[in-house]
C-alpha cells in the first residue's frame, strides 16, 4: 500500500498544531502571593442596614508599585463588610493566589470577631510581594456584592 505524501504531511502539521495548542493553553501553576501580610482597613465610610435592599457605592482599586522591592501596594476602595468587624484591627483576612498575570485576591471577614446587623464600606489596604513589572488583572473576591476586577500595568 502506497502512502499519500499529502496525507502524511497533513497529519504531521495537524499533530504540531494540536501539541502547540495544548501546550500554549496550559495555565501556569497558581502560587500563593500573600497571606494577610500588612493588611489594614479604614473605619466605616458609610453604613447600611443589612436588610436594606439597594445600591452600594461602587468599589474600585488603586495600586502603587515599588519596583525596587517588587512590592505592589493595593487599596480596595468601598469594600463592603459587616459593621461588627469594621472598627477592629485585623478584622479582614486577605490572601492572594497568582496564576500567570491574574491575581485572585480573597478578602474575608474574620469570623472570630463580633457580627452586627449592618454592613458598611471600608478601604482595605495590603501589600503583595515578588511582583515583577507587567500587566496584571486583580480579581477581588469578598463576602458582599459581585467581585471586582481591575487591570493595571506596572
Over residues 44-57, mean pLDDT: 62
Say whether pTM exceeds 0.85.
Answer: no
User: Would you state the pLDDT for residue 15?
Assistant: 43
User: Would you state the pLDDT for residue 19?
Assistant: 36
Beta strands at 102-109 and 31-35: parallel, antiparallel or unpaired? unpaired
**pLDDT surpasses 90 at 7:** no
E-strand spans in 9-117? 31-35, 40-41, 46-49, 60-66, 71-82, 92-99, 102-109
Amino acid at each position: 500500500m502506497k502512502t499519500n505524501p499529502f496525507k502524511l504531511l497533513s497529519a504531521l502539521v495537524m499533530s504540531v498544531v494540536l501539541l502547540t495548542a495544548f501546550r500554549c493553553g496550559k495555565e501556569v501553576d497558581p502560587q500563593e502571593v500573600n497571606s494577610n501580610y500588612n493588611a489594614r482597613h479604614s473605619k466605616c465610610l458609610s453604613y447600611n442596614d443589612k436588610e436594606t435592599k439597594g445600591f452600594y457605592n461602587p468599589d474600585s482599586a488603586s495600586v502603587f508599585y515599588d519596583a525596587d522591592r517588587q512590592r505592589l501596594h493595593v487599596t480596595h476602595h468601598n469594600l463592603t463588610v459587616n459593621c461588627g468587624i469594621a472598627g477592629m484591627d485585623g478584622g479582614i483576612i486577605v490572601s492572594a493566589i497568582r496564576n500567570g498575570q491574574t491575581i485572585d485576591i480573597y478578602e474575608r471577614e474574620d469570623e472570630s470577631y463580633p457580627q452586627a446587623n449592618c454592613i458598611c464600606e471600608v478601604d482595605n489596604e495590603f501589600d503583595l510581594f515578588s511582583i515583577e513589572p507587567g500587566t496584571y488583572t486583580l480579581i477581588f473576591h469578598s463576602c458582599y456584592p459581585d467581585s471586582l476586577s481591575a487591570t493595571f500595568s506596572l
